[in-house]
Structure 1
Amino acid sequence: MTTTRRELWINGQWAAAQQHAALYSPYSGEEIAIIAEASPEEAAAAIKAAHAAFQEYRRLPAFRRSAILYRVAELIAERREELAAVVELEAAKPIQAARAEINRTIETYRFSAEAAKAITGEQVVMDAAEGGQNRLGFTIREPIGVVTAITPFNFPFNLVAHKVGPAIAAGNTIVVKPSEYTPLSALLLGELFREAGLPDGVLNVVTGSGAVLGETLTSHPLVQKVSFTGSHAIGEIIQRQAGLRRTTLELGSNAALIVDEGTDLDAVIDRCAAGAFGYNGQICISLQRVVVHRSLYSAFVERLSAAAAALPVGAPDKENTAITSLISDKAAERVTSWVEQAAAEGARIVTGGKRLDAEAGGRNVYAPTVLAEVSPSSNVWSEEVFGPVVSVLPFDTLDEAVAIVNESRYGLLAGIYTPNIHHALEAARCLHAGGVVINDIPTFRIDQMPYGGVKDSGKGTEGVMYAVHEMTQLKLIAFHTGK
């Protein structure tokens, strides 16, 4: 295999870094690239380039920003299979899931192109207040300046798109710091956007360690907003470093589903398996907790376990692979220890609960695992597993089920399957989460919908147009029109 070498993308060109590090395949362990390791000074240079570019880019008409984003979507579509292969290689994402991510990325940039033409304000009724007569008031939205984006490994194209697309649509400039595990996907964007006509300096990509670059990206005086997707612990650090700057923090999750009395299990098992084990459970809203009405509990556990055990295990480049390597040794060791802890605390391992490295022919492969009778204090129930593990508990009343879901410190998305409209509306009202999905899994997401959490799941809202609003400043214009 020929090793790829990648530098930093700053001001519309490749910029050689002083330091570099090897990137390895999560599945095979082979070296796949040599990646630039930016220093704080090199990250600051990218921020300064973005700030300089903003002075002109903020004036670029909406139709031109839209055209650039549409063109990027076209270029990605033309290279769909090539880019999916990059995701499969660096993230160990099964190739079918990698293709699905590229398709969503195309859609995200198209939504961003549409959003660029839909940034509006509103009239303010000035004479609704005494003293407001003979005055005309309205609002406009202006770009805020340099946005820094720190992105995770699990959707290396689409979660970058959810930050880059809205920033460019709004007239901002951006510096992206992708995950150390998946830098290649983000680095490909530089030349794609340049080919699409984006002015130099509007998009910059710096790779390297978050521990080294984090403070520069969050506290540099030219940075106006920080958008971060990742763990709650790192999100807290970023918020402290960012101070009064705007932040969007999409943090941890512990997505839960209620399976209510009367639910047709034939209609839900496959969806639950997809939600729990898709991309090895390494999805922010992966289905991690299921509370099932006692009348369905035994059948649900048995059928979900059978579905999990039937998932094909193997190399990520094989067309039928569903379960493959976790992103790192550390991730596999953590999942292993948490399942062992749960079992020691009384959980029943119905299926899985072990490594499958030899069976899969690769590294860090953990079996899709279903746990029953889990202690609520176990990490697999109370924290974010980020692995192919789902835990199931029974309930007797809807109030009990809602209370079980709400006891988590996380609240990104939750879901309920129910044939009872009253139960559906009650769950929608009472579940404490950023979104409630009715008659589907909480792993459901489409890219234009609002997406953000409550409690320790973060602050701010993504989803293209919602992100645009968070990346613009509302300004009042007030005219005195007469006496």
Structure 2
Amino acid sequence: MLKSHYPLYLANRPRESGRTLDVSDKYSGALATRVALADAALLDEAIAAAAAAARPMAEWPAYERQAVLEHCARRFEARAEEFAQALCVEAGKPIRDARGEVTRLIDTFRYAAGEAVRQHGDYRPLDIGPRAKGYWSLLKRVPVGPVSFISPFNFPLNLAAHKIAPAIAAGCPFVLKPASATPVGALLIGEVLAETALPAGAFSILPCRAADADALVRDERLKLLSFTGSPAVGWDMKARAGRKPVILELGGNAGCIVDEGSDLDFVVSRLVFGAYYQSGQSCISVQRIYAHASLYAALREKLTAAVRALKCGDPKQEDTFIGPMIAESEAQRLERWIGAAQQRGARLLCGGERRGAMLSPALLENVPADCELSTKEAFGPVAMLAAFDDFDAALDAVNASDYGLQAGVFTRDLGRIEKAWNRLEVGGVVIGDVPSFRVDHMPYGGVKQSGLGREGVAYAIEHLTEPRLLVVRSPA
């Protein structure tokens, strides 16, 4: 059960603000809890505290940072069911998926604990010619300083973790704004961080309105912005951020190729997971499926039956696979997109019925390539089937998108694996599985409208640090 109220965290400490944000149970629509809501003045206070913490954090020993991250992993594990139940309520995430996200939260902090003491430098002699005789250099990476983070609603724990844990490992103070729809997970992380000996001002976690959050983008005391969310918002932030680097993870409409000779029972089990896991509200959810003509009919039959069999309903029930979308307005949007595709000749194979924020899992075929359902990010429980005869044409179809986050390819042909890796315009190609696969230390991010930079602990640390060169002239 959620508590009736949660404070925000400002400069490592719980704080009330005199204002609150209502958080609903996404399945019932009832009020679940309230959280303290920050305004622009509190945000400015948090940024000032982070700026003051920059030197103490940079000078804090690596083993101390490691100890904080290890403490967090232990405490998350001890409170795992509490975290999962909170996630189930505030995000509407089926409880089995919520428990899986808690596991990933723990994994991310544990891996970051190792990275905190694994950062490397470089020695390089400089005497490439007579004028540099006796010179040599060392290179190390230093924290960029205080940073700002904005996390999304769909993975309130894990995607916040992918910002917080690398920042601690790198030695960067941070100010995090969680999504207004799902702020509780980040505040629970804040509860655990507040138990540690982090330097004063090392972290602030502030639920706040977008209108009060402009300083996270513009304030020059913050040296980097990392945002996960919609392309329109992300690219606008980058345009307003000035000189600071901006890391963007902006989603996609992932394509998946099923080549001839694939094991259909296995493929169907993975497509069901990839397309409908947590009601399709994942930026690497399978949206476009291209199946070889030789197995298209059989795949369509098996996949339709499997999708029809998925249980929809209360995410607190252990056997629920499809819970609510984050808001009724989002379910209405996707219902309109499905209807528009049908009006243009698409065939609805199953699903697509809406009740409030619940949308039954939908599968379509023959969706025109220029429909919103094809060109935009659905971010809901829907997938589309299309047939291909030529593998090169399937690669072209996957690439015919403004997005490029990850793609999946089921094939046993080594030459086609290499061709897919070379030609697919995405941040990651997953062979033998769906594009929805992610392990939390792998480089993760996209190209085109899917964003800039990479997450994954070690790769995030690269963004959060910068090289500093030492040149030494040896005495003659």
TM (normalized to structure 2)? 0.98
Distance 1:101 1:288 in 2: 21
2:473 paired residue number? 480
Alignment partner of 1:440 is 2:433: yes
Match for residue 470 of structure 1 among 443, 463, 472: 463
Equivalent position SS for 1:58 = helix
- The ranges of structure 1 where at least 4 consecutive aligned residues each deviate by more than 3 angstroms after the TM superposition are none
Match for residue 396 of structure 1 among 389, 402, 420: 389
Q: Deviations over 1:360-399 (max 9, x none)?
A: xxx4110111110110011111100000000111111111
Name the CA shift for 1:226/1:2 in 2 (closer, same or farther; >3 Å). Answer: closer
The letter for the 1-side match of 2:48 is K
CA displacement at 1:241 relative to structure 2: 1.5
Alignment partner of 1:187 is 2:187: yes
Q: Is the 1:261–1:418 Cα contact (8 Å) retained in structure 2?
A: yes
2:114 paired residue number? 114
Distance 1:482 1:213 in 2: 56
Q: Deviations over 1:231-285 (max 9, x none)?
A: 0000011101112201110002111111111112122110010000000000110
2:371 paired residue number? 378
Q: Is the 1:194–1:200 Cα contact (8 Å) retained in structure 2?
A: no
The letter for the 2-side match of 1:145 is G
CA displacement at 1:194 relative to structure 2: 2.0
1:255 paired residue number? 254
CA displacement at 1:37 relative to structure 2: 2.5
1:175 paired residue number? 175
CA displacement at 1:138 relative to structure 2: 1.7
* Structure 1: runs of 5+ lacking an equivalent: 358-362
Distance 1:112 1:205 in 2: 19
The letter for the 2-side match of 1:467 is A
Name the CA shift for 1:127/1:397 in 2 (closer, same or farther; >3 Å). Answer: same
Alignment partner of 1:221 is 2:207: no
2:290 paired residue number? 291
Larger deviation: 40-49 or 73-82? 40-49
Equivalent position SS for 2:379 = coil
CA displacement at 1:118 relative to structure 2: 1.0
2:313 paired residue number? 314
Count matched residues: 476
1:17 paired residue number? 17
CA RMSD of aligned residues (A): 1.3
2:57 paired residue number? 57
CA displacement at 1:208 relative to structure 2: 1.8
1:278 paired residue number? 277
Q: Is the 2:304–2:363 Cα contact (8 Å) retained in structure 1?
A: yes
CA displacement at 1:132 relative to structure 2: 2.6
CA displacement at 1:214 relative to structure 2: 3.4
Alignment partner of 1:449 is 2:446: no
CA displacement at 1:196 relative to structure 2: 3.1
2:149 paired residue number? 149
Alignment partner of 1:198 is 2:198: yes
Alignment partner of 1:415 is 2:408: yes
Equivalent position SS for 2:284 = coil
Alignment partner of 1:39 is 2:39: yes
Distance 1:173 1:48 in 2: 11
The letter for the 2-side match of 1:112 is A
Q: Is the 1:280–1:387 Cα contact (8 Å) retained in structure 2?
A: yes
Q: Is the 1:44–1:220 Cα contact (8 Å) retained in structure 2?
A: no
Distance 1:280 1:125 in 2: 55
Q: Is the 1:25–1:90 Cα contact (8 Å) retained in structure 2?
A: yes
The letter for the 2-side match of 1:427 is A
Equivalent position SS for 1:376 = coil
Distance 1:378 1:129 in 2: 61
The letter for the 2-side match of 1:101 is E
CA displacement at 1:3 relative to structure 2: 6.2
Equivalent position SS for 2:467 = strand
Q: Is the 1:22–1:34 Cα contact (8 Å) retained in structure 2?
A: yes
Equivalent position SS for 1:445 = coil
- Identity %, equivalent residues: 39
Name the CA shift for 1:381/1:129 in 2 (closer, same or farther; >3 Å). Answer: farther
Distance 2:260 2:279 in 1: 29
The letter for the 1-side match of 2:213 is G
Distance 2:68 2:474 in 1: 39
Equivalent position SS for 2:455 = coil
Alignment partner of 1:233 is 2:226: no
Equivalent position SS for 1:127 = coil
Name the CA shift for 1:106/1:3 in 2 (closer, same or farther; >3 Å). Answer: closer
TM (normalized to structure 1)? 0.96
CA displacement at 1:197 relative to structure 2: 2.8
1:360 paired residue number? none
Alignment partner of 1:97 is 2:97: yes
Q: Is the 2:56–2:199 Cα contact (8 Å) retained in structure 1?
A: no
Q: Is the 2:12–2:193 Cα contact (8 Å) retained in structure 1?
A: no
CA displacement at 1:339 relative to structure 2: 0.5
1:300 paired residue number? 299
Distance 2:25 2:435 in 1: 30
The letter for the 1-side match of 2:35 is I
1:131 paired residue number? 131
Q: Is the 1:108–1:165 Cα contact (8 Å) retained in structure 2?
A: yes
Larger deviation: 374-383 or 5-14? 5-14
1:327 paired residue number? 326
The letter for the 2-side match of 1:221 is E
CA displacement at 1:2 relative to structure 2: 7.9
Equivalent position SS for 2:471 = strand
Distance 2:204 2:286 in 1: 34
Distance 2:129 2:113 in 1: 38
Distance 1:464 1:328 in 2: 31
The letter for the 2-side match of 1:227 is S
2:420 paired residue number? 427
Alignment partner of 1:163 is 2:163: yes
Q: Deviations over 1:311-338 (max 9, x none)?
A: 1112011100001110001111111111
